[in-house]
Structure 1
C-alpha cells in the first residue's frame, strides 16, 4: 500500500491527485506542520521535516515532483506522462518542473515573510523580488495556454497538476491575479473528478501529530 504523509493544503495534494488520476490504492497520513512536536515516525522518514513523503513498499521519497515522476515511471505507463517521442513531451517536461522550481518555490519567501516573519521584516526586498519573478514566469504558462488547452498539448498531464497547485498557492497567499485564459485553465483542471476526490482524501487522512 502506498502511503502519503502530508497536509490538507500542501504540496502533497499534487501526489494525492496523481494517485487518484492513476487509480492507485493509497492512504494519507496527516502531518500538522504547525504543531510544536512532530510524529517521530514521520521524522524518521524525513528528518528534514517537510512534506510530502512517499512510502511505497521499501521505497521512501520526498519532493513532490520527484515523487510524481517515480509514480508515473514505476506504476505506468500512463497518458499523464507523454512518451519521449510525443510532440508534447518537451513542453510537458518544462512545465512539470516549472510548477515547483519556477513558481511554487519562488512564493515561499513571500509567504513566510507575509505570515510568519516579525512585523518589521514582512515587507522586504527578497520577498518582493521573488513575487516579481514569479509573476514574470506565469507569462510562460499563459503563453502556452494560448496555444493549447493543457500544458502538454491537447490532453491533461501531470504537468497540469504541478502548475495548478502553484497557481492556487499564488491565489491563496500571494494575491495572484490570473488572466482569463489561465482562469479558464484552472476551471478545467480543478473540475476533474480526480481532483475532487483528492481534496476529500487529503482532508480525511489519518492524523499523526
Structure 2
C-alpha cells in the first residue's frame, strides 16, 4: 500500500501515526504541495487536491479518517479499532466529530499563524483567528468535559479516536492554539505524545 502524504500535514499525520502504531507497512510518497506538477498529479488521485491519499492496488482512498479505518481493517491483531460494533460506533462518532467540528477551526488558526506567511499570502487575519478561536473554545470544552475521569477518548485504551483528534494539535505551541486552559485535554495530549509513533511523526522545524 502506498500513501501520498506531506509530513507537515496534520491529516497525513493521522494516517502515518495509526499505521506506525499498528505496524502496518506503507510505502510513503511525499507530495510537494508547493509544486504545481505534484499538485497536478495529486488531483488525478484525489479530486479534492488534498493529502493524504492511499493506493492499495487498483483501489484509491482519500479522507484521512476513512484511510485510518481501512488500514485497521487490513491489520491483523490491531487494537485501535476493535470489532465490537458499539465501540466502533463510539470511535466513529469522535472521528467524525473532530473532522467536522474540532479540527477545522484549529486548522484556520494554524494557517493564519504559520502557513499563510510561509506561502507568501500575507500576515495573519486576526478577525479570522478570533472567529476560529470561539469555535475551538466551544468544542474544546466538549472534549474537556468528556475526558473527566478518562485517560483515553473511547474506553480504557488508545483507539483511532485519539489518533484522529490529536494531530490537529500538532502545532499547539507554534500557532499558539487556544487550548492551554483545558487541563484534562492537555494531560490527554501528553499521554498521546508519549507514544513512539507520535515522536516519529512529529514534523521537523
Question: For residues 130-149 of structure 1, what are the structure 2 equivalents within 5 Å?
Answer: 130-149=132-151
How many residue pairs were aligned?
197
Q: Is the 8 A contact 2:106 2:177 kept in 1?
A: no
Question: For residues 39-78 of structure 1, what are the structure 2 equivalents within 5 Å?
Answer: 40-76=40-76, 78=78
Alignment correspondent of 2:4? 5
CA 1:47 to 1:149, structure 2 compared with 1: closer, same or farther past 3 Å? same
Q: Is the 8 A contact 2:3 2:52 kept in 1?
A: yes
Q: TM-score, normalized by length of structure 1? A: 0.80
Alignment correspondent of 1:106? 105
Alignment correspondent of 2:158? 156
CA 1:132 to 1:170, structure 2 compared with 1: closer, same or farther past 3 Å? farther
Q: CA RMSD in A?
A: 2.6
Alignment correspondent of 1:186? 189
Q: Which has the higher contact order (CA 8 A, sep 6+)?
A: 1
Shift of the alpha carbon at 1:198?
Answer: 3.7
Shift of the alpha carbon at 1:20?
Answer: 1.1
Alpha-carbon distance in 1 for matches of 2:83, 2:168: 24
Alpha-carbon distance in 1 for matches of 2:184, 2:147: 7
Alignment correspondent of 1:196? 199
> Are 1:81 and 2:81 an aligned pair?
yes
Alpha-carbon distance in 2 for matches of 1:47, 1:32: 17
Shift of the alpha carbon at 1:180?
Answer: 2.6
Alpha-carbon distance in 1 for matches of 2:165, 2:185: 11
The farther-off stretch of 179-188 and 3-12 is 179-188
SS of the residue corresponding to residue 92 of structure 2 reads helix
Alpha-carbon distance in 2 for matches of 1:149, 1:171: 22
Q: Is the 8 A contact 1:97 1:162 kept in 2?
A: no
The farther-off stretch of 150-159 and 177-186 is 177-186
Alpha-carbon distance in 2 for matches of 1:171, 1:136: 20
The farther-off stretch of 95-104 and 164-173 is 164-173
